[in-house]
A and B are shown apart, each in its own frame.
Chain A
Amino acid sequence: MHDFELHAPDSIHEAVEILAEHGGSTRVLAGGTALTTMVKQSLVRPDHIVSLHRVPGWSHVARLGPEINIGMLATHRAIETSPLIREHAPLLADTYAQVATVRIRSMATVGGGIAHGDPAQDPLPTLLALNARVRLLSATGERQVPVGDLFRDFFDTDIGPDELLIEVQVPAQPHDLEGVYLKFLPRSEDDYATVGVAALARVERGRFQEARVALGAVGPVPLRATAVEQALQGRKADAATVRKAAELVGDLVDPVDDARGSADYKRDMAVVFTRRALEQVAGIPR
């Protein structure tokens, strides 16, 4: 690894002061599961690294009225095992439990997992489908951004070099809104998804009262499939409706060829797994 100056601030305010001072040549280090390797491989060459390991707190998981607030430093494993998340946003627990291996999950943070901006990450479609927001703090103030507006390109987000993602706010998942995250893993249990689909639905009297679909690993950014959602809204919750709506995904995605499959294969699998996810949340037998 090349040399850099390591800062270990004792508070988020100290952290954003350092970011303000050194700006673009600085990277935040949270769980380190992504950044450490990127620095080792010289994919990024920051002159300064602001490590958050001394910042007390900010790993909270708390319910505030209709929302769940998650501190940036909460680990994936904490979300997987939190009784509060299990109760009020079970889809979130199920999704974080599917990330990598237990060692990665016990290091990787919720904040780092979002700020990294890798469209193949599992939590992103689920956070999109749950309409989550993030709080971004800088030395000059704070703003809130919906997760849906955060991603610009592969590994590129709207988070400024002077900003720290301090909290994620997730509206609780109503008990009658069924959710599932399907991760297609043709190679091994601990791999990244070939495609990932998060779906939520509420079916009343045999019709979709609400449907939400988001996908990961199918393009430069995680994607909310609003066209599919609209095609389901108010329609009969049966196999034919779901099959037709899921096909729309083929035109929305823009996958790349890689070791996990060709672009064409991923496009087909995006349709298949969208259909399966919707069948599951709508209780349609396959």
Chain B
Amino acid sequence: MTTQPKKARVSTTVNGQPVDVLVAPYQSLLEMLREVLGLTGTKEGCNDGNCGACTVSLDGRIVDSCLVLGAEADGKRVDTIEGMARPEGLHPLQQAFLEEAALQCGICTPGFLVAARALLEREPHPSEERIRLWLAGNLCRCTGYDKIVGAVRKAAALDGAGNGRAAG
């Protein structure tokens, strides 16, 4: 059978900005962000849901954007790493990652930051165990994780680290 795939029109909100784009049916949300919208902060690691580098928030829930079709973002709110810093400076999590040297090559970092923000929005003062469980599925091949967990704990110790868009 031959098919005539048409591009789907996607109306979404990315980091608070309304966005209208055309995506092919087979384009993932990750590809839509990186290739159609030029938002390359969200990274591709495995492309099959195992590494968490592509983590974004979709209507307040963190997802692996490589497993979501771009078309499925229609009518939804997408929040990526690009929306994390505030006009007055870095997000407390970003600042803590820098201070604690929680990154080396950095490819995993946007995924960790977006995931960690979602945790702190729900649980402002998580235990170390909660942090480790929540971040399972964000893989880092450089740091050995301890510094990442330490940075999240540091940010959590500062009031308001989770302040951002409402959690879902």
- Given A101-B137, A189-B136, the answer on whether A40 and B5 have CB atoms closer than 8 Å is no
Q: Are B26 and A190 in contact (CB under 8 A)?
A: no
Segment 56-88 of A: residues with Cβ below 8 Å from B: 77
Q: Which residue of A lies closest to B114 (CB)?
A: A103
B71 touches A37 (CB 8 A): no
Q: Is the CB of A6 within 8 A of B69?
A: yes
Would you call B28 an interface residue if the criterion is a C-beta within 8 Å of the partner chain's C-beta atoms? yes
Residues of chain B from 53 to 68 with CB closer than 8 A to chain A in the complex: 55, 61-64, 66-68
Considering only residues 182-216 of chain A, those with a C-beta below 8 Å from chain B are 188-190
Tally of chain B residues near chain A (CB < 8 A): 32
B27-54 vs A, Cβ < 8 Å mask (1 yes, 0 no) = 1100000000000000000011100100
Number of interface residues of A (CB under 8 A): 34
Chain A residues contacting B72 (CB-CB under 8 Å) are 29, 32, 51, 53
| 9 further A-B pairs in the complex, CB-CB below 8 A; given A54-B74, A103-B55, A103-B137 | A3-B3, A6-B5, A6-B8, A6-B25, A6-B71, A49-B25, A101-B136, A104-B67, A107-B68
Query: Chain A's nearest CB lies how many Å from the CB of B100?
Result: 22
- CA of A39 to CA of B72 in the docked complex: distance in angstroms? 16
Quote the shortest CB–CB distance from A69 to chain B (angstroms): 23
Of the candidates B25, B28, B47, B71, the one whose C-beta lies within 8 Å of that of A3 is: B25
Please determine whether A32 and B136 come into contact, CB atoms closer than 8 angstroms. Answer: no
Instruction: Kindly identify which residue among B52, B55, B69, B74 contacts A29, using a CB–CB cutoff of 8 Å.
Output: B69
Can you pick out 24 interface pairs between chain A and chain B where the beta carbons lie within 8 Å of each other?
A: A1-B26, A1-B27, A1-B28, A3-B3, A6-B8, A6-B25, A8-B74, A32-B68, A32-B69, A33-B67, A36-B28, A36-B68, A37-B49, A40-B48, A48-B3, A49-B25, A103-B52, A103-B55, A103-B62, A103-B115, A104-B64, A104-B137, A106-B63, A189-B133
User: Measured between alpha carbons, how far is A103 from B26 in the docked complex, in Å?
Assistant: 21
Q: How would residues 11 to 46 of chain A score, 1 for a CB under 8 Å from any chain B CB and 0 otherwise?
A: 000000000000001000101110011011100000
Let me know if B69 and A107 touch, CB within 8 A: no
